[in-house]
A and B are shown apart, each in its own frame.
Chain A
């Protein structure tokens, strides 16, 4: 029976390339897909591109391809990735250059354009699209953020990536392809799944879902028993072996990590909302009756995945300017570390009031005490009194940049002007832009995606 193997090579922009490199060189795979785009990534890439027109994509991918471009070609491993971000043609050009430098020949780069909807917003508004916030219709009116938009990208499904593979692409580069569609596209093409093969399409999406976060699907971030994960310094990323009627998750030979019922389970519902209606551009997935069972060492079998028709509309992710933010830190040591950190916060707040700082929101936390678990942190008076050290953290969000900047020069002087034992670290803080996210739905026919092939000879 025909079997197709696909690996997950990257979990986010900034992930380690080690597992992907190992996988391409040592695992028996037909495809590798690399996800670089989290929710905010495109907004960050767009701002990079506005500063430098040649930027705006995941350069990490080019660095990785310099290592394994030739290996993948020789091993006939095709690679799919959304590394193109906000500058797909820039990414294509850089990849071409990297491949030529390695002497790789007869290479085809497939790429997909059309997910950037920024130029069509007004036209769609004129057609009556309201861009209501799909998470919470009560957060406000789209018109209030229209002029503050940074980027507008639509999540798309498998079709244009399959067209690239039809054109003989060795690598397929996209912008906002939905993470899991990078995995579904080659599987649907290999097995000839049609639009009405809903259960099969849903299986392909779940392959993507289990693999798209890289190491997190193979024993990374494993709450069940992190001590049981072998060789985290050589953590392998997950690989799916798919046939018409079976789905196994495994990993490359000779690497660390763990594939077990529990490690797959933790990833299985990660960032899913309703398990009976996990919505993607290709199919609505129902995993409410799914099964996960061990099927050998580092091998798990997943079943019971069902599909329902895809939604009528596509998700459009909008990023918009939402003001400014500054985060500062100041550590104190024993004695009275916590009390001194609290006192320093009080000094800083008095100074800010005197200087007339206007803010939208402010947050004061104490690292080592309650910065992560907040009001759920367990403390006692003895513990707080005897803390070895404590780091004051103040975070402020403002409308105006000048207000956020006010606190920055006041931190370092507290080493000499405040309670004893403060030590300044990390250098001066910087004012950061705040990007808000506004997810919404748009009609499918508003989106015109195009697939292209560039031959590198």
Chain B
């Protein structure tokens, strides 16, 4: 079993709209894209973020870019100035996502 940080296989960026956070995730190498699609299910991502993301998560695939866009509702502690989080805009959500450990033998 080879557990690696997703960061080794993917890159991306997080953004905010009110209390919704989106994280786009791209394969660093196109050959890993099918693996990433298989492993990064909505259920897996929802479980990973746990209490941090309180709402629904939707994944949109853009195969031509070897990328996926995860849209996560109620993910920023209330959004905007409502949020008490240090990172109320979720700038670090991308890094948090890529910190997930994935099993490359899976």
Task: Please report A residues at the B interface, Cβ cutoff 8 Å.
Answer: 39-40, 135-136, 216, 221, 223-225, 262, 265-276, 287-292, 304, 322, 325, 327, 361-363, 365, 367, 371-376, 378, 393, 395-397, 432-437, 439
Say yes or no: A135 contacts B84, CB within 8 Å.
no
Nearest A residue to B13, CB-CB: A266
Q: Does B92 contact A (CB under 8 A)?
A: yes
The count of A-to-B residue pairs whose CB atoms sit within 8 angstroms is: 143
Shortest A368–chain B CB gap in Å is 11
Say yes or no: A40 contacts B81, CB within 8 Å.
yes
Distance in angstroms between the alpha carbons of A435 and B82 in the assembled complex:
7
Say yes or no: A270 contacts B92, CB within 8 Å.
no
Distance in angstroms between the alpha carbons of A290 and B11 in the assembled complex:
18
Shortest A179–chain B CB gap in Å is 12
Chain B neighbourhood of A275, CB < 8 A: 60, 62, 69
Say yes or no: B62 contacts A273, CB within 8 Å.
no
Chain A neighbourhood of B2, CB < 8 A: none
Shortest B60–chain A CB gap in Å is 5
Distance in angstroms between the alpha carbons of A374 and B87 in the assembled complex:
10
B interface size (C-beta, 8 A): 46
Shortest A127–chain B CB gap in Å is 26
Chain B neighbourhood of A396, CB < 8 A: 84
A-B contact pairs, 18 of them (CB 8 A): A39-B17, A135-B19, A224-B11, A262-B11, A273-B69, A275-B69, A276-B60, A287-B62, A290-B62, A371-B87, A372-B87, A372-B92, A372-B96, A373-B96, A397-B82, A434-B81, A436-B81, A437-B79
- Given A270-B24, A271-B17, residue A367 in contact with residue B12 (CB < 8 A): no
Give 12 A-B pairs besides A135-B18, A291-B64 with Cβ atoms closer than 8 angstroms: A39-B16, A221-B13, A223-B13, A265-B24, A265-B26, A268-B65, A271-B17, A363-B77, A367-B86, A372-B96, A374-B52, A437-B80
10 nearest A-B pairs in the assembled complex, by CB-CB distance: A271-B15, A269-B24, A395-B84, A363-B84, A224-B11, A266-B13, A371-B86, A270-B15, A372-B92, A269-B69
Distance in angstroms between the alpha carbons of A216 and B15 in the assembled complex:
11
Q: Does B37 contact A (CB under 8 A)?
A: no
Instruction: Map CB proximity to A onto B34-71 as digits: 1 under 8 Å, 0 otherwise.
Output: 00000000000000111110010010101011010101
Distance in angstroms between the alpha carbons of A40 and B17 in the assembled complex:
10
Distance in angstroms between the alpha carbons of A409 and B34 in the assembled complex:
56
Say yes or no: B11 contacts A272, CB within 8 Å.
no
